[in-house]
Amino acid sequence: MTPALAIEGLGVAFDDFVALEDVSLSVAPGESFGLVGESGSGKSTLLRAVAGVTPVSTGAIAVDGMILGKRRDKASYRKVQMVFQDPYGSLHPRQTVDRLLLEPLAIHGFDDTEGRIVHALDEVGLGSSFRFRYSHQLSGGQRQRVAIARALILEPSILLLDEPTSALDASVQAEVLNLLEQLRAARQLTFVMVSHDLAVVTHLCDRLMVMQNGRPVEELASADLAAGKVTQDYTRGLLAASKGFRRERSGWS
Ligand SMILES: Nc1ncnc2c1ncn2[C@@H]1O[C@H](COP(=O)(O)OP(=O)(O)OP(=O)(O)O)[C@@H](O)[C@H]1O
């Protein structure tokens, strides 16, 4: 089967700083793939390179079997959409929800914009009553739902999720994660998701890659990570740190 996303020997450098080196991975259609690793390990850079907003120095990225060139066409940008961590920063405060959703449709020349906007808002559980609100009139969870609607309205095949719930309260986090899971199943979307929260990644993703200093450390099934079946000391350390953090946070002894 042709992978939804195939990355081969990817490298990204910012001047003389190497942020990604020799990263290869393959994600099947409809699969949910996680990226984990300490801060600065290159997870967001990898998503941004796939989205086409960070230039690639070496290697190749293919979506649905088509290699993305240095100059991408509109159609390949449409196929890969990204949802960012910060729903406050990623939505323009002076635009209504309607305008925010209309903009990508206009750029990509979609017809029936009205019908698509109404459908997109329904799909993320907001409904048309939110259409003419400004983003500052929305809660964090509602904003993130608008950001998801804005990404999905272009009917992408791959959704890149960069810490999509880490700026939200715990209860809202669970709601947004459930919504993402429902949408993936309903639309047979492929997810690539970055999260520092291993519980979130193991819950939402089938497989994941552990990264350190811009390089892959190991790739494993989420079930194996959850069961502690890891091969690399770095991953073991990450797992131990996450358990320690959870114990501290929840007051377990
Ligand atoms: N535009 C840029 N110019 C220069 N350096 C950059 C740029 N973007 C990222 N970097 C550097 O690349 C490295 C990887 O950053 P990246 O944001 O991908 O890490 P990350 O794993 O997503 O971290 P975090 O979990 O903290 O978000 C960091 O050292 C960062 O400072």
Residue 16 Cα to ligand 1 midpoint, Å, equals: 14
Calculate how far, in angstroms, residue 44's C-alpha sits from the geometric centre of ligand 1: 7
Please tell me if the CB atom of residue 48 comes closer than 6 angstroms to any atom of ligand 1. Answer: no
Check if 195 has its Cβ closer than 6 Å to any atom of ligand 1.
no
Question: pTM for the full model?
Answer: 0.92
Q: What is the mean pLDDT of residues 90-118?
A: 92
Q: What pLDDT is attached to residue 25?
A: 97
The CB of 45 under 6 Å from ligand 1? The reply is yes
Q: Does domain 30-52+78-243 have CATH number 3.40.50.300?
A: yes
Q: Please name the residue whose Cα sits nearest to atom 29 of ligand 1.
A: 40
> How far, in Å, is the centroid of ligand 1 from the Cα of 38?
11
Write down the domain spans for the chain: 30-52+78-243
Atom of ligand 1 nearest to the CA of 46: 18
For a pocket test of ligand 1, which of 17, 50, 208 has the largest count of ligand atoms closer than 8 A to its C-beta? 17
Instruction: Give me the interface pTM, i.e. the ipTM.
Output: 0.96
Does the pLDDT at position 248 exceed 70? no
Q: What is the tens place of the pLDDT at every residue in 204-245?
A: 999 999 999 999 999 999 999 989 899 999 999 988 888 765
pLDDT score for 253:
28
d(CA 168, CA 212): 26
